[in-house]
Every structure is written in structure tokens, then in C-alpha cells.
């Protein structure tokens, strides 16, 4: 059996001082193998971005470990960590701030190649042209436009995707990679990413969009307030969600002729126990104890006392 190229084990991240702060992640686990894709789903504040950044060593862990290509990154010195990161691509959630304001689209796509020593300027620019065409920016007129000043949000996001793919990563970490795309171009972004995973690249996508996650990944992991509450095959989570929070995400998806169901609102609940208990319509006394994530059906895990 192939070893994972990325493994997070019981990862917790706490922001703030001991007297007051936020537990952004709590005992989160994940594994991704070569050619495999995982989608992390949840609303804002669920811990998706923090988990992606932790996997690259960009945020300090409170506990747990991250293994990248077989190396525990907590034991890596700076040069070793940089070497591991160069085998990865990262699409940040904000395509507005990730590119220097003076760069045009072509130079922005070429910059990672040049910084990594991937050939001279001419070779870097040639590959940048290929990358921009791959992501749908094949108009040479756009290549000369400054990313931060002249391109639309969707175009900036595509430049960000081109930058992330510029070193032919073995692992791609993508934070909301299609959030600024319209319905037509979202499918195009999805096809680009799937083509890369078929070539052997591993991928982790963080998104609030459950249908996009189901279309893009081999497995889906649902997070709520820093904890993993459900994981399993995407088609099963969409058709038969087990955790009440997963069901709330499904019910909140808009559709033609569909009656919108508002998100579950919080009700009075003393601190502690299941993190979803204040909003859960199924809560009972046992929910004052925190459930652990466990296999409840073949290939499916959930953290809920009501699921047997």
C-alpha cells in the first residue's frame, strides 16, 4: 500500500494567549496519497484554511504532527522545509494579495519558476505562457496586464492557480480555488485540477461549497469549529449525510424550486460537549460529552452520539 505524501495526526492549533483565545483546530487528522484528492468542507471559521496552512508549516501547532513526503516538518530546519514546500503548490484564498502589485500576469506566473532556479528568464516565460493558456488565460493581451490593477477577480484567481502549478507540484493545497469563477469557468477549473491528479498529483481542496467538493474529490471531510465531524465518499455524504451539520450544509444549498432552509440557529446550551450541540436539532443530554470521530459505516466516519 502506498504511503501518504501528506499526513496530519491529531493536529491542534490555538491562537491567542492562555487567558483567552481561539482553538482553531482540535485533533484534526487527514491523509492524502499520490494521485488522491481530498476536499475539506465547512463554513467560515471551521478551520479549513488553518489546516491547509498548518500542513505547510505556516502556522505553529499546539499539538500533533504534520508529515510531508515522509518527513515530520516539526523536525526540519529551514532549508529542509523550503525543499519540501517546493514540491507543493498552494492556491491561497485571497488572489488579490498573493501577487506583487508591479507584476503583470506573465511575470507573475513565471516568478516561482525563476525563484526556484527553473531555467533562464526566457524558459520561465515560455512555461508561464503554457500555464496561463492551460488555466484559460490564452489572450496575449492579458499577459501584459498588471494582476493587481487590471484583471478581474476570476482572472486573478486563475493567475494564482497558474503560479501554484508552475513547479509541477506533487501535492496541491487549494483554498477556495473556484470561489471567484462563474458557473462556466468553475467547471473548467475543476477539469484542470482533475487532469493534474490523474497525472499523479495529490490534492487537498478547502471549500464551503459541498457540490464543488463532491465533484472534485475522492473523499470529503466535513469540519465544524476546528473539529472533523464527518468524512467519507463524496457521493454518500451528499446523498445520505450522517452528521446533523452535514445535513444542514446540504439543506442550505440553493436550487430551482427548492424551499430554502435557514441554517440551524444557536439555542441556549452550557459550554462543553459536542461543538455542534448549540445548533443541533437532535441534541440530548449525552451531547454534553464530546463525541469522538469513529467509523460508523464502512468507509464512513462521524462524530455524533446519535449515529449508530
Q: pLDDT tens digits for 265-292?
A: 666 766 678 999 988 988 898 999 999 9
In degrees, rounded to 5, the angle at the alpha carbon of residue 29 between the alpha carbons of residues 53 and 69 is: 65
Q: Is the pLDDT of residue 204 over 60?
A: yes
40-78 residues labelled b (16+ CB within 10 A) or e (exposed): bbbeeebbbbbbbbbbbbebebeebebbbbeeebeebee
Residue 185's pLDDT band (cuts 50, 70, 90): confident
Q: pLDDT tens digits for 109-136?
A: 999 999 888 778 899 999 999 999 999 9
Q: pLDDT tens digits for 31-63?
A: 999 999 999 999 999 999 999 999 999 999 999
The grid coordinates of residue 128 equal 508561464
In degrees, rounded to 5, the angle at the alpha carbon of residue 168 between the alpha carbons of residues 176 and 212 is: 25
Determine contact, residues 101/148, Cβ cutoff 8 Å.
Answer: yes
Could you tell me the CA-to-CA distances from 165 to 81, 90, 189 in Å, in that order? 19, 8, 12
Please state which CATH class domain 6-87+171-272 belongs to: alpha beta
pTM over 0.75: yes
Q: pLDDT tens digits for 133-170?
A: 999 999 999 999 898 888 888 999 999 999 999 999 99
Q: What average pLDDT does the segment 184-188 reach?
A: 86
The grid coordinates of residue 184 equal 462556466
**Structural domain boundaries in the chain:** 6-87+171-272, 97-168
Q: Is the pLDDT of residue 65 over 80?
A: yes
pLDDT reported for residue 193 = 93
The grid coordinates of residue 258 equal 427548492
Q: pLDDT tens digits for 210-224?
A: 888 999 899 999 999
Q: Is the pLDDT of residue 230 over 80?
A: yes
Amino acid at each position: 500500500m502506498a504511503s501518504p505524501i501528506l499526513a496530519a495526526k491529531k493536529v491542534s492549533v490555538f491562537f491567542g494567549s492562555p487567558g483567552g483565545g481561539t482553538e482553531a483546530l482540535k485533533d484534526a487528522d487527514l491523509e492524502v496519497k499520490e494521485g488522491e484528492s481530498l476536499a475539506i468542507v465547512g463554513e467560515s471559521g471551521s478551520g479549513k484554511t488553518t489546516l491547509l496552512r498548518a500542513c505547510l508549516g505556516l502556522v505553529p501547532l499546539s499539538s500533533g504532527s504534520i508529515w510531508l513526503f515522509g518527513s515530520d516538518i516539526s523536525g526540519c530546519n529551514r532549508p529542509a522545509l523550503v525543499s519540501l514546500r517546493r514540491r507543493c503548490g498552494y492556491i491561497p484564498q485571497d488572489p488579490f494579495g498573493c501577487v506583487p502589485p508591479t507584476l503583470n500576469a506573465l511575470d507573475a506566473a513565471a516568478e516561482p519558476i525563476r525563484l526556484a532556479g527553473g531555467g533562464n528568464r526566457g524558459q520561465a516565460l515560455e512555461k508561464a505562457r503554457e500555464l496561463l493558456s492551460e488555466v484559460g488565460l490564452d489572450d496575449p493581451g492579458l499577459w501584459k496586464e498588471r494582476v493587481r490593477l487590471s484583471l478581474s477577480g476570476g482572472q486573478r484567481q486563475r493567475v494564482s492557480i497558474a503560479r501554484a502549478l508552475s513547479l509541477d507540484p506533487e501535492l496541491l493545497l487549494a483554498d477556495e480555488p473556484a470561489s471567484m469563477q462563474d458557473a462556466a469557468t468553475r467547471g473548467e477549473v475543476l477539469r484542470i485540477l482533475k487532469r493534474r491528479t490523474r497525472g499523479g498529483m495529490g490534492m487537498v481542496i478547502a471549500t464551503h461549497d459541498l457540490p464543488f467538493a463532491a465533484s472534485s474529490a475522492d473523499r470529503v471531510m466535513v469540519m465544524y469549529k476546528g473539529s472533523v465531524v464527518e468524512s467519507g465518499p463524496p457521493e454518500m455524504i451528499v446523498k445520505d449525510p450522517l452528521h446533523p451539520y452535514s445535513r444542514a450544509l446540504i439543506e442550505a444549498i440553493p436550487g430551482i424550486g427548492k424551499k430554502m432552509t435557514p441554517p440551524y440557529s444557536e439555542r441556549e446550551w452550557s459550554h462543553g460537549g459536542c461543538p455542534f450541540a448549540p445548533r443541533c436539532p437532535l441534541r440530548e443530554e449525552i451531547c454534553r460529552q464530546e463525541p469522538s470521530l469513529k467509523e460508523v459505516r464502512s468507509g464512513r466516519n462521524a462524530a455524533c452520539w446519535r449515529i449508530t
